[in-house]
Structure 1
Amino acid sequence: MSPETAPRPPLPPFSLNDAVKKVRMAEDAWNTRTPGKVALAYTPDTRWRNRDTFLTGRAEVEQFLTAKWEKEKDYRLIKEIWAHDGTRIAVRFCYEWHDETGQWFRAHGNENWEFDDMGFMAVRHASINDVAIAEADRKFRWPQGPRPAEHPGLTDLGL
């Protein structure tokens, strides 16, 4: 099987531990900022709403993520499970990034995910708000890539 068709465990129905693992796997993938790799976690016909943008399919997701990470420089993300049930997981998240002028932002958001039987995300709804912050107020300062295991999560950071 290819990565595009092989099951992506953990598979639904999700236990709490499975859901927490799925959330961390998504966070780690997004922190690579590799659009092609991230897009493989979604069904070929995935449906997304990201803020005011509606996407269908892996190709659109990959294009969207490519443009996103060209704009959102030095992106670092933390996701935290909010709830889960069967094939669905609700997540809250924050990420920090800066624009081309050096202005830093912290994006606060919520996502609702629905998975198919093979563990691919079929539906993603994301609501996100950006808040300008000073560079000194950043909390996500690990080297580019996945968040280190010892770095605090959102609750521990008071976010």
Structure 2
Amino acid sequence: MKTIIPPFTADSAAQKVQLAEDAWNTKNPAKVALAYTPDSEWRNRNQFFSGRKSIEKFLTQKWNKEKHYKLKKHLWSYTDNRISVRFEYEWYHEETDQWYRTHGNEHWQFNADGLMEIRDMSANDVKITAEDRLF
């Protein structure tokens, strides 16, 4: 598979977003973490951390909680080495027997090798019924 590196075009930015969506939908923390620099800086809602080990730990905990996770990302905008996306995903919380749809935005910054060095994410969770699920 060819690595997509900056500077981005409309096509390459859209491809980068699709690759990210596909990787996250594997729910494989080790695989997903490889798309980030070893010292990648993250903000995920109210959590701040850095590094691939922290990313793997975060994603492992996330997907242990968020069952039946399914994500869709949409390209919002891009520049030479930055991409912004809006996203939504659905998941089930077993402990409360509740489905959720999460809506949010991410801002990404990439290094010259195409690895993400900064990820800044904000999101809101909305309770839904099983019948309201889109995916």
Deviating above 6 A after TM superposition, structure 1's stretches of 4 or more consecutive aligned residues are none
Q: What whole-Å deviation, never above 9, does each CA across 1:86-137 have from its counterpart, x for those lacking one?
A: 0000000000001013210000000000000000000000001000001000
**Larger strand proportion, structure 1 or 2?**
2
Displacement of 1:8 in angstroms is 6.6
- 1:32 is paired with a residue of what secondary structure? coil
The number of aligned residues is 134
Selected match of 1:41 from 35, 38, 54: 35
Query: Which structure 1 residue ranges, 5 or more long, are not aligned?
Result: 1-6, 141-159
| Other-structure match for 1:152 | none
| Other-structure match for 1:77 | 71
Query: Which structure 2 residue ranges, 5 or more long, are not aligned?
Result: none
Letter matched to residue 125 of structure 2: D
- CA 1:58–1:22 in 2, change beyond 3 Å: closer, same or farther? same
Selected match of 1:87 from 81, 87, 92: 81
Displacement of 1:75 in angstroms is 0.1
Give the alignment's TM-score, normalised by structure 2. 0.97
Map 1:116-127 onto structure 2 (within 5 A): 116-127=111-122
| Other-structure match for 1:18 | 12
Displacement of 1:55 in angstroms is 1.1
Displacement of 1:29 in angstroms is 0.2
Measure, in 2, the Cα distance between the counterparts of 1:8 and 1:44.
Answer: 20
Does residue 67 (structure 1) correspond to residue 78 (structure 2)? The answer is: no
User: Percent of aligned positions with the same letter in both sequences?
Assistant: 54
Does residue 31 (structure 1) correspond to residue 25 (structure 2)? The answer is: yes
Measure, in 2, the Cα distance between the counterparts of 1:9 and 1:16.
Answer: 16
